[in-house]
A = this chain, B = another copy of it.
Amino acid sequence: MAALRAFKSAENSGAEIPDVVCFEKQDDWGGQWNFTWRTGTDGYGEPVHSSMYRNLWSNGPKEALEFAEYTFDEHFNRPISSYPPREVLWDYINGRAQQSEVKDLVRFAHVVRRVEFDDQRRKFTVTVDDLRNHVTEVRVFDQVIVSTGHFSFPNVPDITGIESFPGEVIHAHEFRGAERFAGQRLLLVGGSYSAEDIGIQSHKMGARHVTMSYRSGPQGFAWPDGVDEKPQIERIDGSVATFVDGSSGEFDAVVLCTGYLHHYPFLPDSLHLRSPNNLYPNDLYRGVTWNANPQLHYLGAQDQWFTFNMFDAQAWFVRDLILGRVELPDADARASHMRQWSDRYQAVADDAAAVRFQADYIRDLIEQTDYPMFDLDEVVRIFLEWKADKKQNILTYRDQAYRSVMTGTMAVVHHTRWIDELDDSRERYLDAQTTADSVS
C-alpha cells in the first residue's frame, strides 16, 4: 500500500510512472490488518497471512507510526486516543489507500507462485495463479518489490515431549482471541512482543494463570498476580512443563510466541533474503534493495520500532530509485555503504540506541526523496516514554496519550481503560470517543 501510494503521489505531481501491478493473494488489501478468523490455510488453500487477533490494540502509540502525508487528523477529523484497536487502524490505512485511488492496480486473489530472473535479458518472469478463476499467468517485469512482510510464517521450534501435550498447542500466528483461555493455565513460549501481549490479553480475559518462558532473558515487567516468567522449557511430560531451572507446572494450553521466519516461497534461493530479524538485515542496500540484484526490493524486512512511516520512507526511496530520481551507486559503493551501516548497527547496545538507529536510518531515506520529513527525534522520545510507561505498568500503558509530531494534536484519553474495554469494535471506539468528547 505504501509503494502504490508512493507511485501515485509521483504521478499526481506530474511524473511519468511505469506500469505498476500489485498481486495480492488475499481478497482485499491491508496485509496483516486484513483480519481473518481463519488459521492454517485460507478458503483457497493458501497459508493465512494475518497474525492478528480480535482484540488487538496497537502496542505502540499511534503517534510513532503516523504517516507524514496522511495524518490521523486528516482521516478522523478529530483527535482520537493513542492506542487504537485493530479496526480503527485498519480504517486509517484503508482510508489513505482509498484516497490514492490505487485499488485498480491490485489483482486480488492472485498468488505469486514464482519469481525468476533472466540474467541475459535482465528481466523477471513472474508466475501468478488467479485463485478465483483458476488461470495461471506468466508476466515479465523489470523490477519487483517484495511487500509481503515477514510476520506471517511462524518460527516453530521443537520442544521435547510437546507431541503428547494433551491441550491446545498453537503458534501466536494462529491466536485469534483469549476468551477461551478463561479459567485456564496458559504456557506462552517466548519472551518478546507476542508473549507480552497475548499474556496480558489472556490475563484480561480471565486466564487462571499465565506463564511466559523466555530464552534470552525475562521481559521483567511488573506482572499482575497470575502472570509470571520462567526460563526455557526443558521438556514436557503430559500436561506438565519442566523448566531449565528445575521448576515445573501443569498447563491447559500452550501458545508458541516464538517469532516468524523470513520465508518467501515464491523466491528462488538467489533472490531470497536470509537474515535474523534485526534492524539492519543482511544483503539489502539501504535496508531495501537486494544488493546482488538491485532490480529487486524488499519493504519492511527489518525488525520494527517504526512501522507505517518507515514503510513509507522505504517505498518513496525505492520508487525514486526506479524512477531514476535517486542514483544507484555501483556494487562496491553499495557494499561499502552497507558495511558502514552494519558496523553502526553492531555497535547498538540498548533499546534507546536501537530506536535512534532506526530513526537515523529513516532520516537517511527521507532526505533523498520528497516524502515529508518529520521530527524523528521527537518520535524517538515518544518510543522511550512508551517503554517507560510499559515498565511502570504493563496493564495501563495503553491508557496514556501522546502528541502528534505531524500535527501537534494531543491525543484524547480513551473513555474506557484498556483493561476494562471488552468491545474493541470501530463503532464502539468512535461512538464512545464522541461521547467522551462531548462530556469533557
Interface residues of A (CB under 8 A from B): 35-48, 54, 111, 113-114, 127, 129, 134-136, 153-154, 156-158, 162-171, 173-174, 176-177, 179-180, 252-253, 261, 263, 265-266, 268-270, 272, 274
Find chain B residues with CB under 8 A from A266 CB.
Answer: 113
Closest to A263 in B: B45
A267 CB → nearest B CB, Å? 9
Q: Distance (Å) between the CB of A211 and the closest chain B CB?
A: 18
Contact A46 B265 (CB under 8 A): yes
Q: Assess whether A37 is in contact with B179, with CB atoms less than 8 Å apart.
A: no
Cβ-defined contact, A164 with B54, below 8 A: yes
- Asked if B127 and A268 make an inter-chain contact with CB atoms under 8 angstroms apart, the answer reads yes
Task: Assess A43 versus B265: contact at CB under 8 Å? Given A134-B274, A167-B180, A177-B166.
Answer: no
B180-A166 in contact (CB<8A): yes
Q: A252 to B179, alpha carbons, bound, how many Å?
A: 10
| Top 8 A-B pairs, shortest CB-CB distance | A166-B179, A45-B263, A136-B268, A45-B153, A37-B163, A136-B269, A167-B180, A40-B40
Nearest-Cβ distance from residue A276 to partner chain B, whole angstroms: 15
Residue pairs across A and B with Cβ atoms less than 8 A apart, 12 shown, are A36-B163, A37-B162, A37-B165, A40-B47, A41-B156, A43-B158, A113-B265, A134-B269, A166-B180, A168-B168, A169-B176, A180-B252
* Nearest B-chain residue to A159, judged by Cβ: B37
Interface of A is mostly: loop
What is the CA–CA distance of A316 and B290 in the complex, to the nearest angstrom? 48
Knowing A269-B129, A269-B135, A272-B134 touch, does A156 contact B43 (C-beta < 8 A)? yes
A104 to B171 Cα, complex, angstroms: 34
Picked from B41, B177, B265, the residue with its CB within 8 Å of the CB of A154 is B41
Q: How far is the CA of A101 from the CA of B228 in the complex (A)?
A: 52
Q: Determine the distance from Cα of A169 to Cα of B274 in the docked complex, in whole angstroms.
A: 33
User: Which of chain B's residues have a CB closer than 8 A to the CB of A164?
Assistant: 37, 54
Q: Which residue of B lies closest to A274 (CB)?
A: B134
Which B residues lie within 8 Å of A135 (CB)? Answer: 269
Q: From A133, which residue of chain B is reached at the shortest CB distance? A: B269
Q: Of all chain B residues, which has the CB nearest A177? A: B166
Which residues on B sit within 8 Å (CB–CB) of A265? 45-46, 111, 113, 129
Per the bound structure, the CA–CA distance linking A268 and B127 in Å amounts to: 9
Which one of A44, A111, A153, A168 has the greatest number of beta carbons of chain B within 10 Å? A168
Q: Which residue of B lies closest to A182 (CB)?
A: B166
Which residues of the partner chain B approach A176 to less than 8 Å between Cβ atoms?
169
Minimal beta-carbon separation of A80 from chain B (angstroms): 23
The CA-CA distance from A42 to B263 in the complex, in Å, is 12
Chain B contacts for A157, CB-based, 8 A: 43
Q: Chain B: which residue is nearest A178 at the CB level? A: B166
Chain B residues near A163 (CB-CB < 8 A): 35-37, 54
Contact between chains at B171 and A40 (CB < 8 Å): yes
| The one of B44, B136, B252, B268 that contacts A270, using a Cβ cutoff of 8 Å | B136
How near does chain B come to A29, taking the closest CB pair, in angstroms?
A: 18
Besides A41-B154, A114-B114, A167-B179, 9 new A-B residue pairs in contact (Cβ under 8 A), listed by A number: A37-B162, A38-B156, A44-B263, A45-B261, A47-B47, A54-B164, A113-B113, A113-B114, A134-B274
Beta-carbon nearest neighbor of A270 in chain B: B136
Chain B residues with Cβ under 8 A from A166's Cβ? 177, 179-180
A81 to B359, CA, bound (A): 68
Closest chain B CB from A123 CB (angstroms)? 17
Q: What's the Cα separation between A57 and B48 when bound, in Å?
A: 30
Closest CB in chain B relative to A417 CB, distance in Å: 21
